Structure 1
Amino acid sequence: MNLLFSEYTLGKNKLKNRTVMAPMTRSRAIGNIPNDLMAEYYSQRAGAGLLITEGVSPSPNGLGYARIPGVFSEAQIQGWKKVTDAVHAKNGKIFVQLMHSGRVGNSLNLPEGASLAGPSAIGLKGTVWTDQEGNQPYSTPREMTQADIQKAIQEYVHASKSAIQAGFDGVELHGANGYLIEQFLHPSANHRNDEYGGDWKKRNRFALEVVKAVVDAIGADKVGIRLSPYGVFNDLEIHDEIEEQYEDLASAFGKLGIVYIHIVDHSSMGAPKPKDSTVAVIRESYKSANPSGTYILSGGYDVERANSDLKHKNADLIAFGRSFISNPDLVEKLEKGIPLVEADQSTFYTPGEKGYTDYPVAALQV
């Protein structure tokens, strides 16, 4: 049996197959507000069992990149309703990924009154794109106070409620790729000496408090989280005790009853590969505490490898990323063995429909 294309129940959601469209930044939200073009983009890809949106900021302070959307204002909620309505019209399911960029970004990309902040005042090397002045150095963040931390947690709560109001089937908290939640997890980004920094148990606290607050607000069956153990994106560094740290996190998430954990593996693009033992420990710790929970794996999958991991219960769902950019009908192509279209990387983050909604759909054989 081809498990990848079989139905699956995720919490209270009936998925038409086990493919997931992974979250991918696309930078089409002019003024940080979702629009008709974005509704078309997600609707085109509603053949996936589950769609996860690009990173969406829960706060003005989290809009560190140009043209990324938020979900904290009424205009943004109304914009996202266009997206969720379009996906649901095609019998699709969609979670919003809440991504607070934290220290990652430039102040030119932030709205008036917002500021770049992170667990510690440690900036990133290199540059980031701004529409006003092109590539600019990353701004140095201010260190978040205790009050800032509590405010940020409540911003995640408000954004989660706003997402449900906008029609999303759930939220994925972005605890990966070097953004705010993972910044707290890593000693290279978190030099605090209070209860949110120091040893890994203290560094885990912010992630756990965010997850608990969101679960309390919208229900555990609507909450997932994405993690990237051994990730080094956005100036993070490999550190000691990763497996032990993530085992503890996974167990705690399982006890909170969250509907899924989603593991990032970007080794196909040159990043360090998560240790197999760590991926297994996270799964086992999470599932021991929450046997009905769902485990999602992503990173460089083809149909054969996906079915192997599903068959051996290494994963319940498989996420595909860049291939969805240039193949809106990816699921149909994978199922029928139709060759895939290569994506144009030069249009990944540019405004407009080029490289976004203009990829052709194959004329499928009936």
Structure 2
Amino acid sequence: MSTLTHEMGRRRGLVAAILGLVLTAAAALAAFASPGSAQAATTITSNSTGTNNGYFYSFWEQSSGATMTLGSGSNYSLTWNTASQNVVAGTGWNPGNQTNPVSYSGTWNCNGNCYLSLYGWFQNPLVEWYIVDNYGNYNPSSGATKLGSVSSDGSTYDLYKTTRVNAPSIEGDSSTFDQYWAVRQAKRTGGTITVSNIFNAWKNLGLKMGTANYEILATEGYQSSGSSNITVTSGDGGGTTTPPTTPPPTTTPPPSGGSGCTATFSNTSDWGSGFTSSVAVKNNGSSSINGWTVKLTFPGNQTVTSLWNGSYTQSGNTVTVKNASSNGTIAAGASTTFGFNANYSGSNGAPTVSCTVG
């Protein structure tokens, strides 16, 4: 890992430790406001965390050189220069949420090493995580080992994991914790982050999630200068929702003669505007099969946003999934699975499912 990567990792832990300890008088006053109530713009130039207009915010800089202004709703603006050394600021929710999508808009101008990302922490286990939508002249994943990638929201996010040992964190000055990274290939400033796509991809790689701490749409600068003006327009981290009734699993009937394949669809998680599902593909024959195709025809407007352990195309309400190279061969009587995330509005009925060999 490069010297710069090590320094950035050290700073990130220090940010979390200081943010957990410092609260300015401006933050304390803002915390008494009812959620969503209008307030005059608040200017912050010293390290603090708090609540403004019902939204959690955080501001940290290593030395003086940055100014954060909290506007109406969730809006914030930030200007910084190289004198600040490091600065991280943003608004969001405390606690965060693994399933609610987050939309944001605004402007982001970077001169040097900067990030624009959805950023947060988990506890039990302790994890620091980043979903990076834009960055300057330094890719924050440099020096990390790539674990995989996931397609989401019109681009591919590359997935990484790093580990910090005896570093400052939200739990103290000497902690060991993992960092999870998702770095968008097609940089952008504004859009919707389907958070569940990223977290499900991390989970599918075996990365553990804990209890959510804070989650912010953060601007970060390291020995650089720039400005941002960001508004978070949706998502309610930490909120509770009543999920709709999960449709029962649906299974293709076995073909006559006991040969071929069957597919069983299960809806594993539903948050009212999207869901995660898994499909088990079983070989019913007496010999191995090499390759399979599953078709799912939904009764509504369900749209697949990401899929793993296979490749897919969607035409209207029909999704066609073909095996990945790693799971195309299935021994007699054995099974394999693929999974996907999808969005919908209205009702979420189960699809009809068919499976063919080849």
Q: Same fold (TM over 0.5)?
A: no
Length-normalised TM-score, structure 1: 0.24
Length-normalised TM-score, structure 2: 0.25
1 or 2, which has the higher strand percentage? Answer: 2
Larger Rg: 2
1 or 2, which has the higher helix percentage? Answer: 1
